[in-house]
Amino acid sequence: MPRQLRAEQTRATIITAAADLFDRQGYECTSLSDIVGHAQVTKGALYFHFAAKEDLAHAILELQARAAQQVVADIEGRGLSSLESLMRTTFAIARLAVEDPVPRAGLRLATADVAVRPPLRHPFTEWQEFATRKFTGAVKEADVHTDTDVGVVAHSLVCFFVGTRVAGRSLEPPARLPRRVAEMWHLMVRGLVPVHRRPRYLTLTTQLEREIRTC
């Protein structure tokens, strides 16, 4: 195996192992020795790629950001309504968290005392700005009440989404997250969407949750 490819695979193994431990036991409670053991690599191999635990955390946050940006790019190119785009994005991010320990750990690291290094931006800031844009579009498209304070609603959405995972971390498995996202959207649709447009988005919520469960 070429040396560069082997190094890339080792780096990916270390990141995945660190992500799994950060998600399951927290950043502060995970040591580099724990990561070495879980990844089944030498300390030298770990230090070749990462000088400190903070570097590993930043690498995971970077990968989470790229994954979220790819989700947005894929959905934005489909010509959907603003509200449907936002809903599909939240379910897609939930699906990433269910299937991959790296985005799941990124979500936990974003709620821990881990500095986000420029030019990377804090994920919650990016999510809130994205949600604000989408709710603004949804108001213009008459899918959301015209008197909606989009900034407040966007902030509430991010807090709801993140809080669901934080509160549920010790109470239920990650596979439960799509159900919680569906519950979130059932509440938000009933509170934000005009009556004559609610059936479309309530049906969409059920459909999106089902799609994750059947994958």
Q: Would you say residue 172 has pLDDT above 90?
A: no
Residue 151 domain boundaries: 62-213
Has residue 41 been placed in a domain?
no
**Which CA distances in Å does 104 have to 78, 177, 190?**
26, 11, 29
pLDDT of residue 165: 80
Q: Would you say residue 170 has pLDDT above 90?
A: no
Give the percent of the chain with pLDDT over 90.
73
158: domain CATH number? 1.10.357.10
Q: Would you say residue 117 has pLDDT above 60?
A: yes
Long-range contact set of residues 147-153: C-beta below 8 Å, sequence gap at least 24: 148/192, 153/188, 153/192
Has residue 79 been placed in a domain?
yes
Q: How confident is the model at residue 138 (pLDDT cuts 50, 70, 90)?
A: very high
Has residue 15 been placed in a domain?
no
pLDDT of residue 174: 83
Q: Would you say residue 147 has pLDDT above 90?
A: yes
pLDDT in tens, 22-65: 998 899 999 999 999 999 999 999 999 999 999 999 999 999 99
Has residue 147 been placed in a domain?
yes
Other C-beta atoms closer than 10 Å to the C-beta of 189 total 22
Number of independent structural domains in the chain: 1
Would the pTM count as exceeding 0.85?
Answer: yes
Q: Would you say residue 83 has pLDDT above 90?
A: yes
pLDDT of residue 203: 97
Has residue 47 been placed in a domain?
no
| pLDDT mean across residues, the chain | 92
Q: Would you say residue 21 has pLDDT above 70?
A: yes
Tell me the torsion sign for CA atoms 93, 97, 102, 103. positive
**Which CA distances in Å does 76 have to 17, 67, 88?**
32, 14, 10
Give the percent of the chain with pLDDT over 70.
98
Has residue 11 been placed in a domain?
no
Other C-beta atoms closer than 10 Å to the C-beta of 73 total 9
Q: How confident is the model at residue 182 (pLDDT cuts 50, 70, 90)?
A: very high
The backbone torsions φ and ψ at residue 80, rounded to the nearest 5 degrees and listed phi first, read -85, 165
pLDDT of residue 65: 93
Has residue 78 been placed in a domain?
yes
pLDDT of residue 97: 87
Has residue 36 been placed in a domain?
no
**How much is the average pLDDT of 2-19?**
88
Q: Would you say residue 1 has pLDDT above 70?
A: no
